[in-house]
Amino acid sequence: MIRIVLDNQGQDRLRRLTVEGHAGFSDQEHGGDIVCSAVSALVGFLGITFTEVLPGAGSVQAADGYFELRLEPQPGQEAVVGLVMDGWCRSVRHLEENYRGWVKVEEQK
C-alpha cells in the first residue's frame, strides 16, 4: 500500500507531505503497476515543480518508495504554492477513492 501523509504542522496550510510504499496492485514486471505509476507521476510533478519551476518554495527528498516535500514558500509564492498543492491533494484523494486498499491518504494537523 502507498501511504500519503499530509501534515499541516499545526498551521493553517499544508507544510509537509510524505509518500511511502508501493501499491502492489499488479504483479506485472517493474513499471506495470498502474497505481504505482499514477502516484509516481504525481510525485514526479511535485519534484519538478519544487526543484525547477518554484525553486526555493520547498525542499524535496526522494528514494525508492519514499518521497518527502517540505513547503517553504517565499513571500509572494504562497498563493501559487497553495493552488499547486490543492490540485495535487485533490488528485491523490481521487486515487484513494478509486483504489481503496492500495492508496491511503492521511491528514495530520
| pLDDT tens, N- to C-terminus, the chain (109 residues) | 999 999 998 788 899 999 999 888 877 666 678 999 999 999 999 999 999 999 999 999 999 999 999 999 999 999 999 999 999 999 999 999 999 999 999 999 8
Task: Count the domains in the chain.
Answer: 1
Torsion over CA: 44, 79, 69, 57 (sign): positive
Q: Which of 71, 86, 2, 72 is nearest to 40 (CA)?
A: 2
37: its cell numbers? 505509476
Give percent above pLDDT 90 in the chain: 81
Range of the structural domain that residue 83 is part of: 2-108
Q: What is the CATH number of the domain that holds 61?
A: 3.30.70.1490
Query: Half-sphere exposure of 44 toward its Cβ, with a 13 Å CA cutoff?
Result: 7
